[in-house]
Amino acid sequence: MTTDSKIWVSELNARPEIRSAFPRATVRFYDTTLRDGEQTVGVVLSPQQKLEIARKLDELGLSRIEAGFPRVSPDDVEAIQLMQRANIKAELWGFSRAVKGDIEELVRLGLHASVIEAPTSDIKLKAYGISRDDVLRRVIEAISFAKQNGITAAFFAVDGTRTELEFLKKTYLAALDAGATEVVVVDTMGACGPEAAEFLVRDVCDWVGPKTPVHWHGHNDFGMATACAVAAVRGGASWIQGTINGMGERAGNADIGEIALALRCLYDVPIQFDLKKVREVSAVVSRAAEYTLEAWKPLVGDNLFMRESGAVASQFHIPERWPASFISPRPSSRTPPNWSMLSAALCWGKRAGWTALI
Ligand SMILES: [Zn+2]
């Protein structure tokens, strides 16, 4: 049984005018739980915990794992070395500023690929006290150096969604000229709605051409990170960056599991991600990072298959009338989709009716 065959969604999603806006090529996920995710306030993951999480991420079939930012963290160096010895199947990527010393550290560790970041918005440039010309020069130097040392580079334009478009274009093209092979559209402050995300990704895809993979990296400040990532796919992004449970600083990053579910089940977009494992991985990550998830959180919350309301609970007795919550099992089954570790359950409370008991 396929995962999505047990998910009940509206037929409206399959309408040609909706479906045709999505690409049929596989969307892949770049996980940054161990780097951007660890920036969640109060979270520190030990190298051993990072290895345990990396192994679980690997079970999800994720294409890439961002293993850390080794120049600034001896613990990340140790974590990366543990992962390198663990035969992780996903590509291990590093993280680096457009700074030669950061890249030298990647080379020393034997990493072969990295995101290389530089700020592009005037707000960020002013905060760092550097000019547009300075940043262009740094990007070109750093990416050329990475290329000379055999490192595949994805250029990551920090605060790209608040950057003047002509300068953003100039920086991406300069990065590609210097040897970057991929670019990342970055909504650092979670400042875009889905329409703006789609607009920008479509523009960037036009600038860089069809042979250059475009990533989307978003945050959840308006609760729109999943919607923005889906919109970015519509705009042409073939890689989505995010974290398990959406963990990250402020309101968090985009939640890779939620995005995978939406792309696969609502829009029939092929993905490289095993939804059957996501609850297990979510639990491992939240336990290691010592936080508790909302019980009502999509895909991984504890309450998703429980019903208390009498009106809804009564439908558990009439298979044809299963509630049409998009995550509910199909009417033909009383068990949750096979990627859930939970059983459907009714519970007694002030909104329950007699059907919960009989
Ligand atoms: Zn981020």
CA of 264 to the centre of ligand 1 (A): 24
pLDDT value at residue 311: 59
**In the chain, pLDDT over 90 holds for what percent of residues?**
81
pLDDT exceeds 50 at position 3: no
CA of 316 to the centre of ligand 1 (A): 41
Write the pLDDT tens digit of every residue in 35-91. Answer: 999 999 999 999 999 999 999 999 999 999 999 999 999 999 999 999 999 999 999
Distance CA 53, CA 86 (A): 12
User: How many angstroms separate the Cα of 256 from the Cα of each of 45, 227, 263, 278?
Assistant: 19, 12, 10, 9
pLDDT exceeds 70 at position 319: no
DSSP string across 227-281:
HHHHHHHHHT--EEEEBGGG--STT-B-BHHHHHHIIIIIT---BS--GGGHHHH
Confidence band, pLDDT 50/70/90 cuts, at residue 8: confident
Write the pLDDT tens digit of every residue in 177-225. Answer: 999 999 999 999 999 999 999 999 999 999 999 999 999 999 999 999 9
CA of 119 to the centre of ligand 1 (A): 12
Task: State phi, psi for 255 to the nearest 5 degrees.
Answer: -95, 110
pLDDT value at residue 350: 57
CA of 64 to the centre of ligand 1 (A): 16
CA of 243 to the centre of ligand 1 (A): 10
Residue with tokens 């030669």: 100
Closest CA to 180 of 152, 148, 159, 217: 152
Distance CA 226, CA 223 (A): 8
CA of 162 to the centre of ligand 1 (A): 14
pLDDT value at residue 303: 85
Closest CA to 93 of 57, 52, 136, 139: 57
Numbered ranges of CATH 3.20.20.70 in the chain: 14-289
CA of 252 to the centre of ligand 1 (A): 8
CATH architecture of 14-289: Alpha-Beta Barrel (3.20)
